[in-house]
Amino acid sequence: MPEQNRQYIFASRPVGYPKESDFNLVSSPMPTPGDGEVLIRTCYLSVDPYMRGRMRKSKSYAASLEIGDVVLGGTVGQVVNSKHPDFHEGDIVKSYLGWQEYGVAAGNSIQKVDPSLAPISTALGVLGMPGLTAYFGLLETGQLEDGEHVLVSGAAGAVGSTVGQIAKIKGCRVVGVAGTDEKINHVVNDLGFDDAFNYNSVTDYDAKLQALCSDGVDVYFDNTGGPVTDAVFLNINLRGRMVICGQISQYNLQEPDLGPRLLWQLITKRARVEGMLVSDFAERHEDGLRQMGEWVRAGKLKYKETITEGLENAASAFISMLKGGNIGKQLVKVSEPE
């Protein structure tokens, strides 16, 4: 084991899109676990859109990152030294160590990952936080009924690609929105969406939705916000549901964007707009993972990962994901499990 650890430290609050200089890669002494703790070597770390929100100094559902903190985030790694009776050297565990090569975690804050059930990276994607967001957001917040008409933005990403496939499993008609033609091809030809469009090559979103969702939208799963979401208000069906999962088009703006002006559509359509947080379903995550694991192993739920190699590339992988560089879940591979 090396004598030094390597960590990515939060160096400055981003203005607009983050820059690599907002993060510092540093060496630090290797941590040692105390009683009840384990030392973990990171195999994969996750970069996610919510991290951009934590880099802002504001009151939210979770505390902001402070300058000098290790950048936070979910990780999958291997136990190298355990002072907790439930964990042993070699175990694969999910934890929240952030952007670093090694870290110490309390045994009661980590979960074992069974490498025989699925590749361990999936614990950060389709069988992790993004997959659970799709599952509970669509089925619980969205109250999806079999055979309904579903529209999903951010369709080729970790959450959106899973949303569309769950809706197909439920016999729905699914239309996706994403930012490149390659992503459109992927969701239609590889994942089985009924249709999709590239929001970068369309200007009249209302006309596009009328064409592709000619029977209207029963459930809109929103990962992005922005002008596509504005147009959905004009195409929502009677008793439709709009699940506000993410608004990534807004996360890197320096000034707040205009608010929605089409809320009156909700009156005539008696439609509902509701925000959701995956952590609100925490007591049911195990049930969700059981179902999702079955779908993955049965080949009904596919997943793609964009894997960047090396801790030193975590900041660029994060920035690339915010700008649409990923298809499926964006991960950083830090080390190989032994």
Torsion of Cα atoms, 46 then 50 then 54 then 55, to 10°: 80
Q: Is 80 in the site for ligand FER (CB under 6 A)?
A: no
Element (H, E) at 178: strand 173-178
Stretch that binds ligand FER, among 101-109, 163-171, 263-271, 273-281 (CB under 6 A): 273-281
User: In the numeric block, which tokens belong to residue 8?
Assistant: 């990515």
Task: For CA atoms 252, 257, 262, 267, give the dihedral sign.
Answer: positive
Site for ligand NAP in 110-139 (CB under 6 A): 130, 133
The nearer residue to ligand NAP, 73 or 130, going by C-beta atoms, is 130
Q: How far is CA 96 from the centre of its chain?
A: 15
Q: How far apart are CA 308 and CA 47, in angstroms?
A: 10
Q: Report the C-alpha gap between 245 and 35 in whole angstroms.
A: 39
246 in contact with ligand FER (CB under 6 A): yes
Among 57, 204, 279, 337, binds ligand FER (CB under 6 A): 279
Residue 32 CB, nearest distance to ligand FER (Å)?
Answer: 27
Q: Quick one: what does residue 223 bind among ligand NAP, ligand FER, none, with the CB cut-off 5 to 8 Å set by partner type? A: ligand NAP
Encoded one letter per residue, x for contact with ligand NAP by CB under 6 A and - for no contact, window 41-70 reads -------xxx--------------------
Could you give the 3-state DSSP secondary structure of residue 128?
Answer: coil
Applying CB under 6 A, among 42, 223, 229, 308 the residue interacting with ligand NAP is 223
Backbone angles phi, psi at 318, to 5 degrees: -65, -50
Cβ proximity to ligand NAP, 158 vs 292, nearer residue: 158
Extract the tokens encoding 28: 């630090």
Strand partners, 320: none
Of 21 and 250, which CB lies nearer to ligand FER in the complex structure?
A: 250
Shortest reach from residue 111's CB to ligand FER, in Å: 14
What is the CB neighbour count within 10 angstroms for residue 249?
19
Residue in 129, 156, 296, 322 binding ligand FER, rule: CB under 6 A: 129
Q: Which of 14, 18, 49, 125 binds ligand FER (CB under 6 A)?
A: 49
